Structure 1
Amino acid sequence: MLNLRGVNLNADGPADQMVAVRMWMTERLVVTVRKRRVFAIDAIREDAASGDAPAGPIAFVHDLAQRLMTRVQDTVFDLSRRVDDMEDSVEEGDEDPPEDLAEDQRMAIRLRRYLAPQRDALIALVGTDSELVTSDARARLRELGNLAKLAVEELESMIGRMEAVQDYHATQADQRQNRNGYILSIVAAVFLPLGFITGLFGVNVAGMPGVDTPWAFAALCLGLVVLTVGAVWILRKLKWI
């Protein structure tokens, strides 16, 4: 028994929802079971129809695994290119996080989740004592196992790189929020006494000073300016601004 997975090339789902192929193999027969369409099997069927069929069961397994891994490598390469673009945006000082960051993180995690067992399965197949696996087939399957291993390592590296990009943008967002909050606090510290005084002089009750004095409003405005300058001077003295 051997279970292999490949990227989903069907139109009903994303690539990281990998398709599975389960195989049972004897000396003269290979039985495959799949739930969804696997384009690698379709390609082998077309080759067989044109007279270029695999020479035997183990050749069929190698051909299928190679086709699946080729499609996996293409998907991993495309994902790696997008991660490179994310890192370039960080180096360029772009403060907005990439729109596809979360989706690409999920894709990398799912691909690694399914490819790691496939790597182990191919390595175990190479080490089996079955007479079905010839020395030539072992060498070719070992190469596919190494490719799966490299794909898993690349996915693990990309997951870490995307986490670094995510941490960078989270830090930038926190800094912007803290900076904006600090500015609002300074503005509130300056205008809070001004609001208190204007509110106090705005009450409509008898006995307010300056009601009958022509220059009272100008004096109030001048007093507010002086108070503002004094508040800014105190804040600078305290090294808050």
Structure 2
Amino acid sequence: MKENLQVSLLQWDLSWHNAGKNRDKADSLLDANPGAELYILPEMFTTGFTMQPDKVYETMEGPSVAWMKARAKNLEAVLMGSLVIKDEDRYFNRVICALPSGELIHYDKRHLFSYAGEDKHYSPGKKQLHLELHGWKIKPLVCYDLRFPVWNRNTEEAHLMVFVANWPQRRSNAWNSLLKARAIENQCYVAGVNRCGVDDNKIDYQGDTQMIDYVGEVIATLLDREGVANIRLEAADLKNFRQRYPFLKDRDEFRIL
């Protein structure tokens, strides 16, 4: 396991249903922040959180996935973020992980936000994903997944959990509290990558993109501003903490999909 991992979290006011403009914005943020090994973008970063997948969907051969592959190669880093993807006549809120080798792996959002009707427009994922990067085990998840600790349970000894989101300001207390809870109970780093601004449905997003350590302390945050948070995660610190406080060995035993 590499002794440290350089991670960059991107936050901006997403342009509604405008993939090209959002890719351009991401380009400007990426170009201004070279050197990371993992770049993380928000949920539905090309469209905003939309219930009109038929109007904005792309495929795994579409321009946004191609852009992610090209940027990952150019940056020599992993690029991660979710897109509206059509696959076999179904729509998914899909986290794409583009590797610099050109390989693509993905995670489909498991818990669809029924309060906004997401379950009526998208299909749920059925499998978790564990990405390994320089020996670091990384588990990507999406927004509403955050509320379900059983699904987030650290069965694979993940070192970093990632939640990409469009989490609204009026429920920001839950966002900030649950990110800390997931970090503490799983003894791992947790990245929460949100958007900011106001979308076309007049929903206000507070941002609060942040990195939390295994103790539950916020070690980086963007608050409500556009920008990039650059963080170096330390493997030795995490390993030493887990050895000193081996709480994970006392977990209840049960099977998760």
Q: TM-score range by the shorter chain?
A: under 0.3
Higher helix share: 1
- Normalization by structure 2: what TM-score? 0.23
Higher relative contact order structure (alpha carbons within 8 Å, sequence separation ≥ 6): 2
